[in-house]
């Protein structure tokens, strides 16, 4: 540390001497460095020119080991070789890296600076979006009783995620959550009924003289997921994308119909409706800075074989 301070002081001195006018005889310059002082007594402009030819680092090296309490050190520049004025030799701004006695200078390449990253992170996720399903790979026909409205068929999930960053550009997200499919039917008077042979979708089976407001099927799951995530760019605020898998177990399901026959009414029926107890599928995540999006697609069908229409549910939205 002392060498750095002395060198810095010497650099300041050289800058002042180089820009100074011819000094008067006996001019004195005192530079305070911490508890120490550097004193220069300049009697001739020619001496200034001579000092400019010497390496101040070597001058400081000669001072090391010679300091003592209440002592005065007189150092002759004749004992120190001049620095050759060639472009290949080290200068005051470019020390000789091959000399072990010279201070080491580390060059930093800003193009390859490594960005620090957390190897483990835990966070709480809220997923909000929409859900729907495909029938045999395409959207259900418009006259199907189980056709749903895109707007109003909300998907919600609440969960906990652990992210293991294996490197700056790659990590694994392992999560567990509780999710809800809400399939809002196109016809507000659609009832979901568990028949003897399978699930049935019937419009106003009770022939109520009422104004129907809403009809939906809600299915809740507890899920686990594992998604490899790649980070493109420096740090976690750049573009990122991941593709992984999830699996879930059904923990509840019900059908609800709201209607008005003079007094507000609603019917809610908790039933398994021949729904598959398990679900599994693929999950796509993508994000930039503080915004993340998701897309889930169930590889297995919503209902059991031959107990309902061949529907594969999917959901998409934003992660908070």
pLDDT, mean of residues 259-275? 92
CA distance 231 to 235: 8
Q: What is the pLDDT of residue 79?
A: 55
Same domain? For 286 and 155 the reply is yes
Phi, psi torsion values for 79, nearest 5 degrees:
-85, -5
CA distance 303 to 239: 37
pLDDT at 8 over 80: no
Q: What is the pLDDT of residue 14?
A: 52
Same domain? For 141 and 266 the reply is yes
Q: What is the pLDDT of residue 263?
A: 79
Other beta carbons within 10 Å of 297: 16
Same domain? For 85 and 173 the reply is no
Same domain? For 178 and 33 the reply is no
Task: Examine residue 112 and state whether it is found in any structural domain, yes or no.
Answer: no
Same domain? For 165 and 313 the reply is yes
pLDDT, mean of residues 99-107? 49
pLDDT at 77 over 80: no
Task: Examine residue 115 and state whether it is found in any structural domain, yes or no.
Answer: no
Which tops the pLDDT comparison, 179 or 45?
A: 179
Same domain? For 72 and 144 the reply is no
Task: Examine residue 280 and state whether it is found in any structural domain, yes or no.
Answer: yes
Q: What is the pLDDT of residue 315?
A: 98
Phi, psi torsion values for 310, nearest 5 degrees:
-80, 90
pLDDT bracket for residue 264 (50, 70, 90): confident
With beta carbons less than 8 A apart as the criterion, state whether 318 and 291 touch: yes
Split into its structural domains, the chain has a count of 2
Same domain? For 292 and 213 the reply is yes
Look at the block and give the residue holding tokens 């530079």: 31
pLDDT bracket for residue 318 (50, 70, 90): very high
Q: What is the pLDDT of residue 314?
A: 98
pLDDT at 68 over 60: no
Among candidate residues 77, 107, 137, the one where a domain is terminated: 107
pLDDT, mean of residues 77-94? 54
Q: What is the pLDDT of residues 149-197, one digit of tens each?
A: 999 999 999 999 999 999 989 999 999 999 999 999 999 999 999 999 9
pLDDT, mean of residues 293-318? 98
Same domain? For 77 and 165 the reply is no
Same domain? For 179 and 260 the reply is yes
CA distance 80 to 62: 9
Same domain? For 43 and 143 the reply is no
pLDDT bracket for residue 35 (50, 70, 90): low
Q: What is the pLDDT of residues 230-254, one digit of tens each?
A: 999 765 578 999 999 999 999 999 9
Same domain? For 155 and 276 the reply is yes
Q: What is the pLDDT of residue 78?
A: 58
C-alpha angle with apex 295: 292 to 297, nearest 5 degrees? 160
Same domain? For 132 and 70 the reply is no
Write out the two tokens for 92: 């005051």
Please report how the helices 56-63 and 2-19 are oriented relative to each other, as an axis angle in degrees rounded to 10.
140
Task: Examine residue 184 and state whether it is found in any structural domain, yes or no.
Answer: yes
Q: What is the pLDDT of residues 108-146, one digit of tens each?
A: 444 444 445 679 999 999 999 999 999 999 999 989 999
Q: What is the pLDDT of residues 89-101, one digit of tens each?
A: 554 455 555 555 5
pTM: 0.64
pLDDT at 301 over 90: yes
Q: What is the pLDDT of residue 41?
A: 72
Q: What is the pLDDT of residue 213?
A: 95
* pLDDT-wise least confident of 46-50, 190-194, 290-294: 46-50
Full domain range(s) for residue 51: 2-107
Give the DSSP H/E element, type plus range, for residue 223. strand 211-232
């Amino acid at each position: 540390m002392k060498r750095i301070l002395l060198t810095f002081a010497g650099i300041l001195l050289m800058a002042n001497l180089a820009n100074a006018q011819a000094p008067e005889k006996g001019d004195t310059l005192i530079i305070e460095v911490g508890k120490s002082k550097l004193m220069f007594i300049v009697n001739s402009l020619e001496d200034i020119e001579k000092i400019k030819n010497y390496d101040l680092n070597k001058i400081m090296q000669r001072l090391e080991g010679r300091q003592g309490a209440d002592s005065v050190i007189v150092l002759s520049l004749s004992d120190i070789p001049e620095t050759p004025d060639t472009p290949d030799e080290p200068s005051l701004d470019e020390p000789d890296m091959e000399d072990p006695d010279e201070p080491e200078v580390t060059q930093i390449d800003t193009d390859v600076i490594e960005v620090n990253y957390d190897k483990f992170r835990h966070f709480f996720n809220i997923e909000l979006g929409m859900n729907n399903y495909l029938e045999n790979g395409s959207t259900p026909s418009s006259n199907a009783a189980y056709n749903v409205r895109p707007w109003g068929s909300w998907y919600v999930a609440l969960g906990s995620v652990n992210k293991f960053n294996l490197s700056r550009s790659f990590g694994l997200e392992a999560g567990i959550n509780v999710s809800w499919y809400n399939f809002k039917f196109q016809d507000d008077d659609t009832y979901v009924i568990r028949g003897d042979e399978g699930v049935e979708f019937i419009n106003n089976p009770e022939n109520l003289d009422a104004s129907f407001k809403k009809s939906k099927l809600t299915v809740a799951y507890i899920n686990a997921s594992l998604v490899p995530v790649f980070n493109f760019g420096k740090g976690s605020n750049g573009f990122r994308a991941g593709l992984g898998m999830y699996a879930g177990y059904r923990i509840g399901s019900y059908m609800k119909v709201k209607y008005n026959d003079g007094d507000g009414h609603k019917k809610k029926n908790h039933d398994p409706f021949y729904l598959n107890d398990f679900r599994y599928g693929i999950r796509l995540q993508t994000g930039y800075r503080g915004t993340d999006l998701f897309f889930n697609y169930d590889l297995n069908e919503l209902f059991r074989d031959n107990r309902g229409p061949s529907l594969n549910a999917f959901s998409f939205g934003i992660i908070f």
